[in-house]
Amino acid sequence: MTDGLQIFDVPADADEVAPDAEAPLTPRRSRWLGALAGGISILMVVTWAIALAISLAGMLELGVGLSISANLLSIPAVVLGLVAIVTNRGRGWGIVGVAVGILLNPVVLLNLLTWIGAL
C-alpha cells in the first residue's frame, strides 16, 4: 500500500542505478589570482618596513626609494585583488590583497594617522 510518495522506497533493480549519474562535473576555479594579490600586498608591507628601518639607519635615499616601491606595489595588489573578488578566483586572498593594499599603503596610513592625531 503506497500513497504515491516513494522517496524512501528502494527500486527493484537498485544494483543497476548509479548515484548522480546525470550530474555534470563543474570545473574548479583556480585561486592563483587572489593568492598573487595577497602575496604582493604582503610584499608591499615588508618593503615598507625595510624602508622605514633603512631610513632610520641613516640611508635616506635608499629608504625613500623603497618607500616609493612600496607605494607602487599597492597598485597591482588592489587591482588584482578586485579582479580576484569579481571573478571568484581566490576571493579570500583577493579581499586580503585589497584590504592590506589600501589600509597599509604608506600614503593612506600616514594620512589616517595624521587625521587620528588631529582628533
pLDDT of 23 strictly over 70: no
Listed by start position, the domains of the chain span 32-118
Quote the cell numbers at residue 25: 562535473
Please give the single-letter amino acid code of residue 37: A
**% of the chain surpassing 70 pLDDT:** 78
What pLDDT, on a 0 to 100 scale, did the predictor assign at position 11?
60
Contact 97, 41 (CB under 8 A): yes
Name the pTM for this structure: 0.70
What string of DSSP letters covers 1-63? ---S--SSPPPTTGGGPPTTTTPPPPPPPP-HHHHHHHHHHHHHHHHHHHHHHHHHTT-HHHH
For the ranges 12-21, 42-51, 90-99, the lowest mean pLDDT is seen at 12-21
